Structure formats: C-alpha cells, structure tokens
Amino acid sequence: MLITDAGKAYIENLLKEHNSEGIRVVFAGAGCCGPKLGLSLADPEDDDIVQVVNGIRVAIENRVVPHTQAVTLDFQSTEAGSGLVLAGQRNC
C-alpha cells in the first residue's frame, strides 16, 4: 500500500479532528474480483498487520493484506466532491 502526499495531508487532518492515531483497512464486502476494501479510524485489532506508510499508521485486517499490495490511497477533488480514493483495487 502507498499513501500519496495529498492523501497523507487529508488523513492527518482527519486523525487530528477525531483524536485518532491511525487508519484501518478492512474487508467491506465481496465483489466478483475479490474483496472490497474499506477505511476506518478504528484502533487495530489483535490480528491486524500494522505498518507505517508515508508517516501514517495503517492497520490492515489480516484477511485483506494480500489485496492491499498494489493499492494507493490518494485524496481527490472533483466536481462531484472530494475525499480519499483507494486506487488500484481490483474492480470488474
């Protein structure tokens, strides 16, 4: 997993606003090409893999670790809105 500098800045603001220490990548449902990933500000679970990515503590739910290898977390702003985007997820 990678976190862009724009993604890092957005996450740092969220963490400060919510008095949290990191993000958690979780299983958010099954799709035709594998699991869908979700993000939360929850504390790590006992079996999570915890890494520091671009200065951000990231806890990854153990069962989705293999699916995060090629994922980039970025902040994007469009006419429709702005927010974090998990780019590189396998979507059919």
HEC profile of the chain: CEECHHHHHHHHHHHHHCCCCEEEEEEEEEECCEEEEEEECCCCCCCCEEEEECCEEEEECHHHHHHHCCCEEEEEEECCEEEEEEECCCCC
pLDDT band at 90 (very low <50, low <70, confident <90, very high): low
pLDDT band at 89 (very low <50, low <70, confident <90, very high): low
- Specify the pLDDT at position 78: 86
Q: List, for residues 53-68, the tens digit of each pLDDT value.
A: 999 999 999 999 988 8
Residue ranges making up the domain that contains 49? 2-87
Is 64 among the domain residues? yes
- Specify the pLDDT at position 67: 87
- Specify the pLDDT at position 59: 97
Q: How many domains does the chain have?
A: 1
Is 92 among the domain residues? no
Q: List, for residues 16-51, the tens digit of each pLDDT value.
A: 999 999 999 999 888 777 778 889 999 999 999 999
Surface-to-core class of residue 76, CB atoms within 10 Å of its CB (0-12 exposed, 13-18 middle, 19+ buried): middle
Q: What is the CATH number of the domain that holds 45?
A: 2.60.300.12
